[in-house]
Chains A and B, each alone.
Chain A
Amino acid sequence: MRRRALTVFLGLLCAVSACRSSPDGDAGPYLRLADQDDIPTLDPARGYDTASWQFEAMLFNTLVDYDAQSQLVGTLASGWEIAPDQLTYVFHLRDDARFTNGRAVVAADVAYAIKRVLSPATRSPGAEFFHGLTGAKECDTPACAMAGIDVVDAHTVRFQLAAIDPLFLHKLAMPFASAVPAEEVERWGEDFGRHPVGSGAFILQEWRSGQRLLFVRNPGYFGGAPRLQGVLRLVGVNDDLAWLKYDSGQLDVANIPPAEFPRVIREPRYQPLLHHVTTMRTQYLGMNCALAPFTDRRVRQALNHAVNKEKLLRLINNRGVVAQGILPPNMPGYTPDVGAYAFDPAAARRLLAQAGFAEGFTSTLWVRNDENTLRLAQSIQQDLADVGVGVQIKAIAWGPFLEAVKKLDLVPMFLLGWEADFPDPSNFLEVLFHSKYVGTNNNTNYRNATVDAELDQAARTADTAARFALLRHVEATILADAPWVPLMHPMSYEIVSPRVRDFQLHPLRPARFDHVWLADAGRATGDARQQSEDTGTSAARREVRMEPGAPERAP
């Protein structure tokens, strides 16, 4: 009797699975994305990761922002003046910006946002960027009175700096400086991150934690309502699953998992759908210049010769470029041939012998406990073993890893990356190599008085060409001292479905959707072939055939 029940149950199961509904129905009017993790927060004062920034940019606006060429243009600001002494900035706001709760955006909102970031109670990771404003350190609440921010009238705000800062405009482009409505922040308190109200192109309509977020267009957006009806962002979908969904027409934008990558970039039908950009990020092997044997420059240079960077790239399926220097190639002020080291194990061994380590030595490589990082670490470990350097790998969680690295006497070698906050070489060279930042982000304990002096001078130089010349010299000096082995600059790849138009990747910021549109918007069909034939544009697009339903099989 029990067995019969079991049989019936199994039969039902098969029946249900056989007639499962078509995956997510038709394609729908929304741009569909997916990722593994939920978005930590949508509060612009708190978010400091890629996911948060991507969607905060959809919901909020800053005074200025980057265009496709990483140049600063006004968003909320219709114009601005910088005083000759470079210490006073006056911004004029446009008068047609409105928050989605109905009221107009005024200068006081910008002031409130930055003061909120500065207040200790907000615990904003962006506070340090605005410490250059006069009176910033004394600001303890969003309602504080500080000399550095002055609301002249409803559409004019004046900033006063304590010292020249060529990067101040870039700091105002960071999402931390997004205008927020004080009444909504006070209404939601700590939950503002889950109930954001901004002036941006989209509105958050729904957030089911761990499952999905739905953003819909803001018809009253001052920059013109987006052509997209909305954006649907799924959560808890890992890269492999996202790829399969994309291939069966259920997603519009996806990353390409490592296992698929070699095939995808070779297949012709994916070519027109691929987007890539070299990020402004450098992955590096850092050496603690205060711990033996890395106190000797020759040892550090030897390691630079010992690491096989091409092999590392193969481990990540060539989704990156080998790092010759410290700065990424699309950083303004980048110069090639600034002092790269060739892969030369013989030269490495020679240098080690000169430094007295003909027998090699042992050390520990600290890394973040992350699968991809560990693969790179093991490859480097093999390379170093080949020149006599025995390295033990110590993998710990992200938080304790950062703690350990910033202690100055603990970590001899580590793997880390640095991503530019703004498109300026000083964002790498000063933050990571000036001796005053030892303990903050100068994790290699690098101290060079000449470099410090040149960096200080560059910080006071407003003329861009002169600054870049100074910084080029700084980079060359640092590379000769070799506190780093620069490894690679990762490339960011995304693939879109055939119906997506005007999608663009940005080297500095996550992709935006203000100008993206869907070729079949309004039509309720899920047939990808139909969609691609209707574009009527390039012949390459017409060749794309994608069958929704059965997932792609590996060869």
Chain B
Amino acid sequence: MSALLRRLGWSVVILFGVTLLTFVIAFIVPSDPARTLAGPKADRETIASIRHELGLDQPVPLQYVRYLGRLARGDLGRSYLTRQGVLDAIVERLPATAFLAIVSLALAAVAGVGLGCASALRQGSALDMTVLAGSLVALSVPTFWIGMLLLYVFAYRLGWFPLGGIGLVNVVLPAGALALGNAASYARLLHTNLRSVLGEDYIRTAHAKGLSAARVYGKHALRNALIPLVTLLGLDLAGLMSGVVLTETVFNWPGLGRLAVEAVFNQDIPMIMGTVLFSAVLVVAANIVVDFLYVAIDPRIRSARQ
């Protein structure tokens, strides 16, 4: 328990570090937010007055403190482009990305676990070799390129999937493109873990005790091999919130990733800072949750504590 509390404490420190880094990034960027807000046809006076309105003519540390204050109130500022509240915009787009991320992870988990187990149980076979080499190739493919190809072949040429929209059918292609890399790494992880677990003493003991193969593999081996995967899934889910950027661009998916990229290209500093901060907070939260989960499901840690 004390270890977990210490982790929580460090997480708070990390969160502060994240806000500081976000603020610094927005600051050292060589573009003038007042000019961006004013637009191409504005004159110097308008720009100067805008700068004053935004408080950009105040000393930097003071601006950081004011920024922290606003964060504490939940005010992430307003987009330079649309004047919409940043937090509102993020919350509006979040479900689409979450949907894509969850479906993609589910696909990756099913495929990865399936292939990983199959190859671990049949070591040295052709399947094993294919899975291992194939997973390396799958990890090497740029997600956006696979997305482009899938879109062209399955949506445009074959017409099996629609070319836009955000329904259950529409999520298949982008989720598939995203899932490829993750499935490959899960397969490799399962393969390695299962192989080492299968060599452990307690597996041989279970065999010797006469337990059926299904019970041995299912209850003992798989469960232990899956534990690291569960934690990885949690972290990947948080990480996917930002990893979807390119996929959402290719498929025109109206989620957080597209919001962030549009903000970058529009030099919309508050939106950039907001989305970056939001993703970082999500990752820190996921780390904490995963730590709790790990303690809860790993019997070795639990029994060690008792």
Contact A550-B159, Cβ < 8 Å, known A6-B114, A43-B83, A210-B92: yes
Q: Report the Cα distance A440→B44, complex, angstroms.
A: 8
- Contact string against B for A residues 440-479, beta-carbon threshold 8 Å, 1 for contact and 0 otherwise: 1100000000000000000000000000000000000000
Q: How many A residues are at the interface, by size bracket?
A: 35 or more
- Check B93 against A17 for contact (C-beta < 8 Å): no
Contact with B along A144-185 (1 / 0, CB 8 A): 000000000000000000000000000000000000000000
In the complex formed, the residue of A with least CB distance to B82 is A40
B30 at the A/B interface (Cβ < 8 Å)?
yes
User: Known: A40-B81, A46-B83, A210-B259. Is A123-B162 also a contact (CB below 8 A)?
Assistant: no
A-B contact count (CB 8 A): 122
* A398 interfacial by beta-carbon distance below 8 Å: yes
The B-contacting residues of A in range 94-126, CB under 8 angstroms, are: 120-121, 123, 125
Assess whether B84 is interfacial by the CB under 8 Å rule.
yes
Of B46-54, B191-199, B295-303, the one touching chain A = B46-54
Question: In this assembly, does B206 line the interface, its C-beta being within 8 Å of a C-beta of chain A?
Answer: no
A6 surroundings in chain B (CB, below 8 A): 110-111, 114
Partner of B41, one of A2, A5, A125, A211: A125
> Which residues of B lie under 8 Å from residue A121 when comparing CB positions?
53
Q: Does A16 sit within 8 A of B, measured CB to CB?
A: yes
From 213 to 237 in chain A, residues with beta carbon under 8 angstroms from any chain B beta carbon are: 235-237
When chains A and B are docked, how far (Å) is the Cα of A107 from the Cα of B22? 47
Question: Which of B3-11, B31-39, B132-140, B280-288 faces chain A?
Answer: B31-39
Whether, in the assembled complex, A361 has its beta carbon less than 8 Å from a beta carbon of chain B, the answer is no
Report if B113 contacts A (CB, 8 A): yes
Q: Are B162 and A20 in contact (CB under 8 A)?
A: yes
Q: What residue of chain B has the Cβ atom nearest to residue A52's Cβ?
A: B82
The number of chain B residues touching the other chain, given as a range, is 35 or more
Evaluate contact between A210 and B93: CB separation under 8 angstroms: yes
A127 touches B46 (CB 8 A): yes
**A125 in contact with B42 given A13-B172, A551-B156 (CB within 8 Å):** yes
A400 to B93, CA, bound (A): 28
Contacts known (A194-B84, A397-B267); A403 close to B156, Cβ less than 8 A? no
Any A CB within 8 A of the CB of B210: no
Residue of B nearest to A370 (CB): B265
> A238-246, A264-272, A504-512: which lies at the B interface?
A238-246
> Does A37 count as interface, using CB distance less than 8 angstroms?
yes
Any A CB within 8 A of the CB of B150 = no
Alpha-carbon distance A209/B35, docked complex (angstroms): 25
Q: Which residues of A contact B93 (CB under 8 A)?
A: 209-210
Cα distance A439–B82 when bound, in Å? 27
Contact of B31 with A236 in the complex, beta carbons under 8 Å: no
What residue of chain A has the Cβ atom nearest to residue B106's Cβ? Answer: A9
Q: Of B41, B117, B162, which one neighbours A128 at CB under 8 angstroms?
A: B41
For A194, the chain B residues whose CB sits under 8 A away are 82-84
Residues of A within 8 A of B41 (CB): 48, 125, 128, 440-441
- State the CA gap A399–B49 with chains docked (Å): 18
Interchain CB contact (< 8 A) of B163 among A37, A123, A209, A241 = A241
A386 CA / B244 CA spacing, docked (Å): 44
Bound Cα distance from A398 to B254, whole angstroms: 23
Does A16 contact B40, Cβ atoms closer than 8 Å? no
A237 touching B164 in the complex, CB below 8 Å, given contacts A210-B259, A211-B254: yes
Known contacts being A2-B117, A6-B114, is A128 close to B169, with CB within 8 Å?
no
* Min C-beta distance of A51 to chain B, whole Å: 11
B66 to chain A, nearest CB (A): 18
B258 at the interface (CB under 8 A from A): yes
CB closest residue in chain A, given B54: A123
- A331 contact set on B, CB distance < 8 A: none
The smallest beta-carbon distance between A64 and chain B, in angstroms, is 21
The minimal Cβ–Cβ distance linking B270 to chain A, given in whole angstroms, is 12
Cβ-based interface call for A402 (8 A): yes
Query: Cβ of B39 and Cβ of A190 under 8 Å apart?
Result: no
A23 at the interface (CB under 8 A from B): yes
Structural contact, B43 and A397, CB atoms closer than 8 A:
no
Q: Does A252 contact B (CB under 8 A)?
A: no
B164 engages A397 (CB within 8 Å): no
CA of A193 to CA of B80, assembled, Å: 13
CA–CA, A127 and B38, complex, Å? 10
**Is B262 interfacial (CB-CB < 8 Å)?**
yes
Interface of chain B residues 65 through 102 with chain A (CB within 8 A) = 78, 81-85, 89, 92-93, 96
Is A383 part of the binding interface, using a Cβ–Cβ cutoff of 8 Å?
no
Q: Once the chains are docked, how many angstroms separate the CA of A191 from the CA of B83?
A: 7
With A9-B110, A399-B35 known to touch, is A38 a contact of B172 (CB < 8 Å)?
Answer: no
Residue B252, interface by CB 8 Å: yes
Q: Does B168 contact A (CB under 8 A)?
A: yes
| Additional 11 contacts, C-beta under 8 A, given A17-B161, A128-B42, A209-B89 | A6-B114, A17-B172, A120-B50, A125-B41, A127-B46, A193-B84, A397-B31, A399-B36, A399-B267, A441-B41, A551-B163
The 7 A-B pairs with the shortest beta carbon distances in the complex, nearest first, are A210-B254, A125-B39, A399-B267, A120-B49, A399-B36, A2-B114, A209-B92
Report 9 cross-chain contacts, Cβ distance below 8 Å, ordered by A residue.
Answer: A9-B110, A36-B252, A40-B82, A120-B49, A236-B253, A237-B252, A244-B156, A245-B164, A550-B159
